[in-house]
């Protein structure tokens, strides 16, 4: 697959994340898809990925990714930008639940599907917005 094709698929995946369209996301992932969060936790397979994205969009109902730059090599697309959102709930006052963090993502694209989606970010502002005290 040519580099522009894998970039197009990775950016389409981001677009569906921004639309919070879990069905469209699942159509773009491989059967053996792996999602890796910023702490290294893995979610494997379509059913678990469906549950994870549905739960996350419930927790951060306005979650959004902004891509500022990207590069591709082989089957890997690196995306750079920021993620933002507002955490749902009453653990902390509303204005404090809003966050924006620099972030990067690694997409492995094979056979026109995202096989792996990995997030690289410092989630401390997110934990703070959730009212979670980390030591």
Q: What is the mean pLDDT of residues 53-64?
A: 95
Give the pLDDT band of residue 50 (cuts 50, 70, 90). Answer: very high
CB atoms near residue 122 (< 10 Å): 11
Q: What is the mean pLDDT of residues 66-72?
A: 97
CB 103 within 8 A of CB 120: yes
Percent of the chain at pLDDT exceeding 70? 84
List, for residues 71-117, the tens digit of each pLDDT value: 999 999 999 999 999 988 765 556 678 899 999 999 999 999 999 99
Partner residues linked to 73 by β-bridges: 76
What are the sequence ranges of the domains in the chain? 3-130
CB 15 within 8 A of CB 99: no
From the candidate CATH numbers 3.10.450.50, 3.30.1360.70, 3.40.50.150, 3.40.630.30, the one assigned to the domain spanning 3-130: 3.10.450.50
Nearest to 114 by CA among 9, 4, 15: 9
At CA 82, angle to CA 109 and CA 76, rounded to 5? 15
Residue ranges of E strands in 50-112: 64-73, 76-86, 98-110
Partner residues linked to 107 by β-bridges: 77, 117
């Amino acid at each position: 697959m040519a580099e522009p094709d894998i970039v197009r698929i990775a950016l389409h995946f981001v677009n569906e994340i921004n639309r919070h369209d879990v069905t469209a996301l699942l159509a773009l992932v491989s059967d053996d898809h792996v999602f890796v969060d910023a702490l290294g936790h893995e979610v494997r397979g379509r059913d678990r990925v469906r549950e994870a994205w549905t739960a996350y969009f419930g927790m951060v109902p306005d979650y959004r990714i902004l891509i500022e730059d990207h590069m591709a090599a082989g089957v890997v697309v690196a995306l750079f930008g920021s993620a933002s959102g507002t955490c749902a709930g009453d653990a902390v006052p509303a204005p404090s639940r809003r966050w924006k963090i620099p972030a990067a993502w690694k997409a492995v694209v094979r056979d026109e599907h995202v096989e792996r989606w990995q997030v690289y970010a410092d989630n401390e502002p997110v934990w703070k917005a959730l009212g979670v005290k980390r030591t």
